[in-house]
Structure 1
Amino acid sequence: MSSVPLAQRAGGPDLARGLALLGIALANTVGWLHGEQWTVLLKQLDTTAVDRAADVLIALLVDNRGFPLFAMLFGYGIGILHRRSRERGEAPRRFVLRMARRHLALLAIGLAHGILLFSGDILVPYAIIGMLCALLVSRHRLALPLAGLLALPALGLWGWADATIGLGQGSGYAAASAPDYLTSLKIRTGSALRGALLAPVEDIGLLAPMAIGALAARVRLLEEVAANRDLLVPLTRWGLGLGLLGAVPLTAVLVLDPAHAVLEGERMLGMLGVLHQLSGLLGALGLAAAAALLAERVRRREAAGVKYGELLRGRAERGIEALGAVSLSAYVAQSLVFLALFPPFTLDLGSRLGTAGAAGIVLLSWLAMLPLAAALRRSGRRGPLELLLRALAGSSTLRETAAAGAATAVRGERP
């Protein structure tokens, strides 16, 4: 199956993916910092005022918001592929087989990432739960929404764990504090293999945001913005508002009672964690809608002849959108950067920095990738891991690109 050329991709989903990459990287700083006991949301218990301020911002805007947004967009992509499959009259069995090969390839990339680089990999569970989403979307129209609804309690359990894990003696991921790379490799290998085996149970909560994304793709919610504006505008307002409101209670615990002197029991903290997690799903939906509206506004202004793309805001939007188009490569590249900086066997910044310092590195890394992604888009090229995924999945895109290049050469035209 051929893919949509980069120039014809819907801007909203890519813009949201680019923002989600920043959110996931900020949330993943807990996977690199080590040596200090955890409190709620896996933040450090004893820290400076600046670090706690960064904790608060991340807890309100990022934690339990970035990964459901990414999962929702992942499901949206599955929904688009299924929609195109039906438009071509393809048999459901053929669609499922293609999805199986694609998700198996993503699983292989995810295992390599989880073993070699980062023990908090999300590609493996996305591949496994994403395949389940692809199976369900090809069945009865009610199968996927019902399954997504049933998966909501499992998603809430993640919030419970994030709120209560600090009641123990957690002080960082084991691989993050390993004294050498081989030791960290051994830890990550066991963790990645165990995670892959248990993903159908432990990560089934991902099906909820994926189902929302796949269902949204049925009505082209993030693609046909003008037709869906009456829905996108309230989704933006209510989604972002309720998402922020739902994050306040657990964030207040982080500020006022990080040592759990008042809220000693697990039950109340767990309930606040569930609220934080489920409200993050609403926030993710609101941000996806906002990204679609913003991307469409930029395109309208450019089509009207306004030199919007020459302004800083326009260039930033296009850069983030370009980064979202190479999100797989960017996600793994972030881990390469952090592996070079945070473990004890490199610069050991994981034991020297708090949340603020780590967040600064994350932001600088993300900003540095924007012009690189924009350059790839201008040249009509995809990211290296996007190309690898397509090759492993048997996509016809590479063959079609090669054929087009050969035809251009024969005609004597510039590529």
Structure 2
Amino acid sequence: MSTRTPVNSSVRRQGVTVAERSPAPDIARGFMLLLIALAHAPMYVTTSEPGVVTHPWGGDTLDRVITFLSLGLVDNRAYPMFAALFGYGMAMLVARQRAAGTTAAAAGRLLRRRGVFLVLFGLVHFVLIFPADILAPYGVAALAFGWLLTRGDRALNKGVVISAVLATVLATLLSLAVAVEESTKGTEGLRGTVWAHDYGDAVVERLSQAPFASLHILLGWPIVTAVLVGAVAARRRYLDDPARHRALLKRVVLLGGAVSVAGGIPLALIGAGSWHPGGVATGAVTALHVVTGFAGGLAYAAAFGLLVARSQRRGLTPGPVARALGAVGRRSLTCYLLQSSLLALVLARVAFGLGDEIHSTGAAVVAVCVWLTVVAVAVALERAGLRGPLDALMRRLVYGKPARRATGPAPEPAPASGPAKQPASGEQS
């Protein structure tokens, strides 16, 4: 007769500890926030007409170079990178819960709780701070597609393929529609409430926009595909054990980077004022930029896996830069919202209004300075042994109060299908 202890479906392990975390995902998240700052800051520049993506038109030679480099290397590359890391973390959450004895259904409920609270955090951010929020879309993605992360590899792989096809078609159609509309109606109002003169009016307008903002991002960018690809990578532990997967990570960096740069250059030429195509051609080039940005986001994440693998192979401990980036990554929710708030405070017309005085170069300088400020805050919290306050709040909301240590034998872990049953260490806090 079997003496195995029945698994309690209500078992819920608390969030990942610092000792369990792998460095590569956290370091990548820390760097990713710099890319997001560089992508968002130009939206506040009002000294020129709105240009390609988030950038203003024109400027001097240095401004044009900055715009070219940003469009080639940053824009539409940070979102998929963050989405892939988000998917990686969610898959690790499921794996860790399953290893602790939680049923697939209970782990799925945990994912949905996380999705709900991400949507709420994102809506507050959207309405009060910045109307290009990425938290709510990721929360919606978790709610709509998180169930795939509790299924087997076959279902998850099918989800990747189907979502990739749909994302390519939808991104192309939306890019073409927006470009044609701008070519006929102009760019007036393109920046919306980012250029608002009255904060109260901006908040009221954003309240009416909020229900549709996440849907627009999910339809216009390959967010869902990036999330699911990140989950596949987590099941294979590409960033948790990067030394074992160095060959694959190298191929992702080389191939993904090449595809990303090649797909980014045409739109970068338009943004820098070196090419002036019509509306349809601009839409097609924008779609190319968005789709190939997916490859760029994966290449960035893989690059940090390679850096960690190199250090581990040489027996080196993380240096000060890696430690600082990791501190930011471990507090990515707090740091993302702090960074967004500081950019709005410095650049927005409704605050200090520096966006009315600068162009692309100035926006890039502000973005870097704000990011460095956020890094300093994260490092200070790390040295004090403190979590990011918003990350701690999210953990409390998702997991509830830590359960008291139970007496008696612990339940035997339930088997998880595929590589996902490995101990998880890459989940965001």
Larger relative contact order (Cα-Cα within 8 Å, sequence gap ≥ 6): 2
CA change 1:350–1:155 in 2 (3 A) is farther
Instruction: Give the distance between the partners of 2:309 and 2:387, measured in 1 at CA.
Output: 22
Instruction: Give the distance between the partners of 1:152 and 1:256, measured in 2 at CA.
Output: 31
Match of 2:225 in 1: 208
Flag structure 2 segments of 5+ consecutive residues without an equivalent: 1-12, 406-429
**Superposition deviation, residue 42 in structure 1:** 3.9
CA change 1:194–1:265 in 2 (3 A) is closer
Secondary structure at 2:130's aligned position in 1?
Answer: coil
Q: Which amino acid aligns with 1:49?
A: T
Secondary structure at 1:90's aligned position in 2?
Answer: coil
Secondary structure at 1:95's aligned position in 2?
Answer: helix
CA change 1:333–1:158 in 2 (3 A) is farther
**Superposition deviation, residue 91 in structure 1:** 1.8
Match of 1:169 in 2: 186
Secondary structure at 2:242's aligned position in 1?
Answer: coil
- Residue 182 of structure 1 pairs with residue 200 of structure 2: yes
Match of 1:194 in 2: 212
Match of 2:51 in 1: 39
Match of 2:370 in 1: 365
Q: Which amino acid aligns with 2:204?
A: K
Contact 2:222/2:291 (<8 A) preserved: no
Contact 2:88/2:230 (<8 A) preserved: yes
CA change 1:178–1:371 in 2 (3 A) is closer
Contact 2:24/2:240 (<8 A) preserved: yes
Instruction: Give the distance between the partners of 1:181 and 1:400, measured in 2 at CA.
Output: 46
Instruction: Give the distance between the partners of 1:322 and 1:245, measured in 2 at CA.
Output: 33
Q: Percent identity?
A: 30
Match of 1:275 among 251, 270, 288: 288
Match of 2:267 in 1: 250
Match of 1:285 in 2: 298
Secondary structure at 2:153's aligned position in 1?
Answer: coil
- Residue 67 of structure 1 pairs with residue 86 of structure 2: no
- Residue 318 of structure 1 pairs with residue 332 of structure 2: no
Match of 2:425 in 1: none
- Residue 220 of structure 1 pairs with residue 237 of structure 2: yes
Q: Which amino acid aligns with 1:270?
A: G
Contact 1:52/1:255 (<8 A) preserved: yes
- Residue 83 of structure 1 pairs with residue 95 of structure 2: yes
**Superposition deviation, residue 201 in structure 1:** 6.2
Q: Which amino acid aligns with 1:246?
A: G
After TM superposition, the structure 1 = structure 2 runs for residues 345-360 of structure 1, keeping only pairs within 5 Å, are 345-360=350-365
Q: Which amino acid aligns with 2:345?
A: A
Match of 1:238 in 2: 255
1:1-35 per-position Cα deviation (integer Å, ceiling 9, x unaligned): 22222233111111111111111121112432336
Instruction: Give the distance between the partners of 2:346 and 2:368, measured in 1 at CA.
Output: 14
TM-score (norm 2): 0.83
**Superposition deviation, residue 199 in structure 1:** 5.8
Instruction: Give the distance between the partners of 2:238 and 2:126, measured in 1 at CA.
Output: 33
Instruction: Give the distance between the partners of 1:369 and 1:201, measured in 2 at CA.
Output: 27
**Superposition deviation, residue 256 in structure 1:** 4.6
Secondary structure at 1:341's aligned position in 2?
Answer: helix
Higher share in helix: 1
CA change 1:235–1:24 in 2 (3 A) is same
Cα RMSD, aligned residues only = 2.5
Instruction: Give the distance between the partners of 1:377 and 1:5, measured in 2 at CA.
Output: 14
Contact 2:264/2:288 (<8 A) preserved: yes
TM-score (norm 1): 0.86
Aligned length: 387
Match of 1:127 among 109, 116, 139: 139
Instruction: Give the distance between the partners of 2:166 and 2:293, measured in 1 at CA.
Output: 14
Contact 1:295/1:317 (<8 A) preserved: no
Instruction: Give the distance between the partners of 2:221 and 2:159, measured in 1 at CA.
Output: 10
Secondary structure at 1:228's aligned position in 2?
Answer: helix
CA change 1:399–1:180 in 2 (3 A) is farther
Q: Which amino acid aligns with 1:353?
A: I
